[in-house]
Amino acid sequence: MKQLSRLGAGLAVLVYGVVGNPAVALAHGVGGRQDLPIPLSTSSTVAVAVIVLSFVLLGSLWPTARLQDGPRQRRINATWFKWLVAAGQVVGFVFLGIVIAGGFIGQPRASFSLSPYLVYILLFLIIPFGGAVLGNIYSQTNPWRIFTRFLGFPARPVPPKVGIWPAVAAFFAFTWFELASVTGAEPRTLSLYAVAYTGWLVVWTVRFGGDNAMQTADGFSTYNRLISAIAPIGRASDGTGWVWRGWFRALPVLPRWAGLTPFVLVMIGTVTFDGLSGTQRWLGWFGEVESHVWFKTLAMVGIVVVLGLAYYGASWGAVKLGGAGRSAREVADSFAHTLVPIGLAYAFAHYFTLVLFEGQKILSTVSDPFDLGWNMFGTAQWKIVYWFPTDGIWWVQLGAIVAGHVAGVVLAHDRALAEFGGTKAVRSQWAMLGLMVLLTLLGLFILAEG
């Protein structure tokens, strides 16, 4: 703990020294797109300096691997949680029913129906973000898990080569509906998607059984499992209760499924596309063609591929610098978990305001889920309250980006100690450090330009 304290103290001193200086903080007037409290150049300098300093301090204060043995498994007395889980499962079924029914009854206006807010804000953002602190919330509310278990098909082993590739396809398809499809927010489209997705999972359930179908083909299960591995709370290894396992300790022991690295790259790449495509520079580069579905699809795939090439390039550099007798692909798969905090940081920073403000629409549309003029809970007329200060938004976004990349550096350093050992571990991570710096600058640029 002393080493961690020193690391934190060093980072705090650096941040205070740069952003805590009033002359620096007031050097940028409030004006432009984001009303940034400090210039982007200053934010970028601070972020990069923090990441580089964390890398240097880890090299001297963290000499042996500490996270590779997995969670601590200190049991939590949470019998009350069983009732919360049961309620969550009921709510999950109700919400799935609302999404499916929304395509056949009610009005087609997305902004006045509950379905888009349930899918794109609650399911895709709030539940995973909460899971990063409270453990895998989705697994306790997933209606498809209960449904596929009810079908009763026997479990069969999933071929190792299949891994979670079906989940990669499912997750990319979902993000495509959200970011590229012109009808992705319409209740009817979401209804048809929910029905098709249910059928998709049923097919995999027939083939491999319910639990294996969730692990193999449910993109949301994989997404939430990865992000919730950050949380200090999780299920006990015997599945009988809850344990305190410590922050980030479940990430290094994630199974190395086939498709894990591509899944994480899709996580980061699709958010990157969403951010870039919302900037004025993007519109200036591509003009009207950027509004076409085919172009958005190619751009999404292209950004994921470019990020993948950069990551595999950094993995190749780690092999060359570390002198390990393994391939770049093996190193990439071994370090894939280190990108999960970055994926969470990108998503949280980019969608923070969406949750904060548009998330309030859940409270109003739940009273009238199908836009039929109902007011079941007396909240139908509630308006969005823009209560969070603009300056505060930028600080939250900056903090999320920096924290996610520092966490990635820590996880990569710890894995490098286990993979390469000794001084080779630090040397092997120079390429990964360069990748972390580039991703940090890219994330901040997107937030500032969006």
Residue 324 clears pLDDT 70, i.e. is over it: no
Tokens of 27: 């050097």
Structural domain includes residue 288: yes
In the Cβ-directed half-sphere of 244, how many Cα atoms lie within 13 Å? 4
Cα-Cα-Cα-Cα torsion 95, 97, 103, 108, nearest 10 degrees, comes to -30
Write down the mean pLDDT value for the chain.
87
Residue 332 clears pLDDT 90, i.e. is over it: yes
Tell me what pLDDT residue 10 has. 42
Structural domain includes residue 31: no
The mean per-residue pLDDT over the stretch 363-380 comes to 92
Residue 33 clears pLDDT 60, i.e. is over it: no
For the chain, what percent of residues have pLDDT higher than 70?
Answer: 90
222-258, pLDDT tens digit by residue?
999 999 999 998 877 666 677 888 899 999 999 999 9
Tokens of 90: 């009921």
Q: Give the strand order in the sheet containing 233-235.
A: 74-76, 242-244, 233-235
Q: What's the DSSP call for residue 75?
A: E
127-174, pLDDT tens digit by residue?
999 999 988 989 888 999 888 888 888 889 999 999 999 999 999 999
Residue of 41, 59, 32, 105 lying closest to 369 (CA atoms): 105
Cα-Cα-Cα-Cα torsion 408, 344, 148, 159, nearest 10 degrees, comes to -30
Tell me what pLDDT residue 308 has. 96
Structural domain includes residue 115: yes
Is residue 62 within 8 A of residue 6, CB to CB? The reply is: no
Tell me what pLDDT residue 356 has. 94
Tell me what pLDDT residue 80 has. 64
The mean per-residue pLDDT over the stretch 92-121 comes to 88
Structural domain includes residue 438: yes
Is residue 164 within 8 A of residue 223, CB to CB? The reply is: no
Tell me what pLDDT residue 237 has. 66
Tell me what pLDDT residue 11 has. 41
Residue 9 clears pLDDT 50, i.e. is over it: no
Is residue 440 within 8 A of residue 402, CB to CB? The reply is: yes
Residue 22 clears pLDDT 50, i.e. is over it: no
Residue of 48, 192, 124, 108 lying closest to 354 (CA atoms): 124
Tell me what pLDDT residue 36 has. 77
Distance CA 410, CA 416 (A): 10
The mean per-residue pLDDT over the stretch 183-196 comes to 92
Is residue 439 within 8 A of residue 342, CB to CB? The reply is: yes
For the chain, what percent of residues have pLDDT higher than 90?
Answer: 63
Structural domain includes residue 196: yes
Position 425 confidence tier, pLDDT thresholds 50, 70, 90: confident
Structural domain includes residue 220: yes
Position 77 confidence tier, pLDDT thresholds 50, 70, 90: low
Structural domain includes residue 436: yes
The mean per-residue pLDDT over the stretch 72-101 comes to 80
Position 191 confidence tier, pLDDT thresholds 50, 70, 90: very high
Is residue 432 within 8 A of residue 412, CB to CB? The reply is: yes
Domain assignment of residue 307, given as a range: 40-449
Structural domain includes residue 22: no
Tell me what pLDDT residue 208 has. 93
Tell me what pLDDT residue 105 has. 87
Tell me what pLDDT residue 245 has. 87
Tell me what pLDDT residue 301 has. 97
Position 3 confidence tier, pLDDT thresholds 50, 70, 90: very low
Tell me what pLDDT residue 15 has. 38
199-229, pLDDT tens digit by residue?
999 999 999 998 999 999 999 999 999 999 9
What's the structural domain count of the chain?
1
